[in-house]
Structure 1
Amino acid sequence: MTNIQLIATDLDGTFLSNDKSFDRALFRTVLKILAHNKIQFVIATGVHQERINRLLSDFLDVGLSFVTNNGARVTTSEGEVIFEKTLSLDTLKTVQKLLTTFPVKPSRGLVYSTDDTAYVPREYADVMTADRRQYFKKVIVFDDVSEINDPIFKVTMNWHNFDETQFYDVARQQLGHHVHVTETGTGAVDIVPAGVNKAVGLKMLADHMGISMTNIAAFGDGANDLEMLLAVGHPFLMPTAHINGPFEPVIADNDHAGVLKTILKIINN
């Protein structure tokens, strides 16, 4: 697979182990090999940049590129933001109304996210526990979305013991073409701007770099990775994934550095 010029990976359930760690030494080795072969490395994830910065704090100076918020923001290896798409206030009001009237409240929390700030409705403030707060610079409690002055990339909600497909159906009916509803990769649901997904963001980045999507390898495990996997020339699916498609298998799961080991294998071949 010597035609690979860029490798993109999801984080949760894919690159990160279940305890949110990863093999740092092996990652450094892989990055050196990729640099030698002039292959770019991209984090393509549903999460926001501040969480990535904390998870990958030792690797922010090695030329990584980022497709974050399920494709709503794209940042080059030089730190240039080349694409952003946010939810309009009118859309946020519609989302707020839907979540207020939906009969099953997201018992595990509700967050309106910028790239570093969590805006949390007051009734969900007590669900914003310390382990969740750690991934944001600021947490701001609000009563109405009209109080939010920052650009919102996504609205994330999480239920306990609830079939999220019921919410998907209602959200798609009421929000129409104004948003894209997808999973987060962490068991929650994201509402992002219409026309946004990881494939769109990755295509923006690839075009900026002058790289064809056929020369990209991508790793994923969830429904929010599906568009990206279908769009690239070399899609790899985690062994624990619950989606189907014409994908190559990753040689180990996320608790055993499957992504990094598979990269070494395909580069050495």
Structure 2
Amino acid sequence: MDLANLPGSSSQEIGSEVARSRVIGSEDIRVEDIEGKDTKQVKEAILSQSWVSKAHDNKILRKYEVEVSTKDGKNKVEIPDEVITDSTPLWDDFVVGKFLDISPHPAKVHVLLSKIWKYGEINSKVEVYVVNAATMRFRVSNPKAREKILNRGMWNVVGVPMVVTKWSPKTEEEKQEETEFPMWVHLKTVPLHMYSWKGLSFFTSTVGTPDRLHPETIACTNLEEAKIFVNVDVSKELPKEIEFTKDGKEFTIVYHYPWLTARCNLCDKWGHTDKVCRKNGKKEETK
């Protein structure tokens, strides 16, 4: 674009305006924010905006001007909105992994997950913290990788299945025993006329809450076996096959759980062994 040919403005005025917009635009400072201010005020505005831009990209500490007032003999401070708005807790990038058996050595887990949880992001890091014999907490710095990890739900780590969910400080405080585990459920001998969203939802509702279909199943590349991701209810025995009836006709659906581990002999529940069962701990206390 030829600046000299623009109507109503000289090339010198336009050039200075463009130069000014470049400086302002680089820091997202609006023209009205600096018009009528002296050089010192302009510098402070630019530096302030520069800090805001940097704060979004880096995790840093800063000095706040805090006004402390005294009322009824107590020191009080009103928290400004900027401290709360767009503020992310330090624990927000944590996920928790609950193994369905005694967890592998933390060093092995760290080496493996540092490789497979990168998702192509070179700077993505994974930190491992041991909670107990069957639980680990992971800090995943990359939000995209963290989202993919949570979407998958179930992972096989050094031969031991692990359920990954979002972590929060209340997660460890509650210490509730899991009754549902997300896992892939494979169905065989599904009637072709019921190889549908409704049909597969109905069949897997007998073992838990259906969540999504495998891409292979959606593409219908293997009509002999349907794969559905289900939040399986492990508080009860899971069937290997079920007979269904419609209009007097019977057919059998075969269920397969690739991620399912042994059933606990103490509490008669799926998802863990007697080595990590709570009843085992209570039994030791009784002795």
TM-score in terms of structure 2 length: 0.19
Q: Which has the larger radius of gyration?
A: 2
Structure richer in helix, relative to its length: 1
The structure showing larger relative contact order (alpha-carbon pairs under 8 Å, at least 6 residues apart) is 1
